[in-house]
Amino acid sequence: MVLHFESLTIKILKISHGIFHKSFPRHCHGKNYYELHYIVSGGGTLVTDEGEFPLSKNLFYMTGPLVYHEQLVNADNPTEEYCIQMEILCGDSSRLQPSSRLLTETHFWIGDDKYDSLSLFELISKECYNKHIGYIQATISLVSMILTNLVRNYSSDTEVDTFEESTPDYRKLNIVESSFFNKFRTITLEDLSKSLKLSPRQTQRFLIQNYSKTFSELKKEARYHKARDLIRSGMSVLDASLAVGYSDTRVIKSMLASDPSFNKTKAPDE
């Protein structure tokens, strides 16, 4: 199971849940290997080179590469926990975004969870037990949310990263869709290019790459969709055509005629 966390590639090796009555002896993990534990209930002690840490409900701890640790169990109060074992591959470490850097560079951390991660672990258990269609993708999404909670716990900064930084093309897509939705009548290729901070040629290439259509095709489509909504609300074809910037009805009528989703019998007369 593989997920992408910003620029990281994370291989989920194992997700487990259980109540442990026996201690785990001192050991460490190899290169790129991380093990995330979430204590559901019970007690015990985590022993690392940095000291001894009592285990308790609602506690996270992460052990990364070459971190020696052992987990001692309290026989009278055994530990119930979830565990995610994963390999994290980061490629060019100099280009990591803040959340990814926190995740890969924090080889040991222990602390209380502030973001209700238990509910996410419980959903993973249900998905993996029921194995309904799409359960793998659902599990990947839930693990990604858990890792997001983890790095938020690592940092006291509530704005570790920004949405624009993590997905730069998303902002461009949002600008494109907002422009055609709100400015379907007046938007020009030059206007859109300025908003995207691209040249007109780069803008056309971006539109074809992401929508398989040119600027003119997308504008025509946006004007038609608006006109169709106006007609469905009771406006005449002529008035709807004028409202979206056409001087006559020919373009809209032609597109209505070839639109299988439009109920032509209820279209208002001109």
For 69-90, the pLDDT digits (tens) are: 999 999 899 999 999 999 999 8
Q: Strand, coil or helix: what is 175?
A: helix
Q: What is the number of alpha carbons within 13 Å of residue 93 lying toward its C-beta?
A: 8
Which H/E stretch holds residue 184?
Answer: none
Q: Strand, coil or helix: what is 92?
A: coil
The whole-angstrom separation of Cα 9 and Cα 22 is: 33
**pLDDT, tens digit, for every residue of 220-239?**
999 998 998 889 888 999 99
Reply yes or no on whether the pLDDT at 267 is more than 90. Answer: no
The whole-angstrom separation of Cα 41 and Cα 82 is: 10
**pLDDT, tens digit, for every residue of 147-158?**
999 999 998 654
Set out the domains of the chain in order of their start, with CATH numbers: 2-163 (2.60.120.10), 167-266 (1.10.10.60)
**pLDDT, tens digit, for every residue of 195-208?**
988 899 999 999 99
**pLDDT, tens digit, for every residue of 133-148?**
999 999 999 999 999 9
Query: Which pTM value belongs to this model?
Result: 0.59
Q: Residue with structure tokens 């201690």?
A: 23
The whole-angstrom separation of Cα 263 and Cα 231 is: 11
Residue 72 has φ and ψ, to the nearest 5°, of -95, 135
Q: Residue with structure tokens 């980061």?
A: 90
